[in-house]
Amino acid sequence: MEHQEDVMADASSTFETVKEILKDALGSESLEIQPNTELITLGLESIDFLDIQFRVERAFAIQFSFEDLVKTKGLEDIVKDLEKITVQDLLNEIEAKKGALVSPTSN
């Protein structure tokens, strides 16, 4: 039970950090950000995606790219996919990358 609480607290902490990254990158403390918020609805421009990528990498000590969240290959499909990325998608990718850094050792 304690491990589950730690995981939930860690996910909540990740969400709060991502919220602050988004608010800081966009220069707006008044943004309402929820896990289901589509990033494009926050008024992001292409340069903002790069800024957020850099901030996420620095905050979580992971290698990250929005391309990791895009499942299609064609340029038109990539643009459509980027428009659908939610904060939850970003959180899931961060947690997956963080989990990859912590690999169990076998004896």
Give the DSSP per-residue string, 26-54. Answer: HT-TT----TT-BGGGGT--HHHHHHHHH
Measured distance CA(103)–CA(25) in Å, rounded: 31
The DSSP output letter for 86 is B
| CA-based nearest residue to 56, from 21, 16, 102 | 21
The residue-averaged pLDDT of 60-73 equals 74
pLDDT at residue 104 greater than cutoff 70: no
Highest mean pLDDT among 4-8, 10-14, 51-55, 68-72: 51-55
Average pLDDT in the chain: 77
Global pTM reads 0.69
The residue-averaged pLDDT of 8-32 equals 84
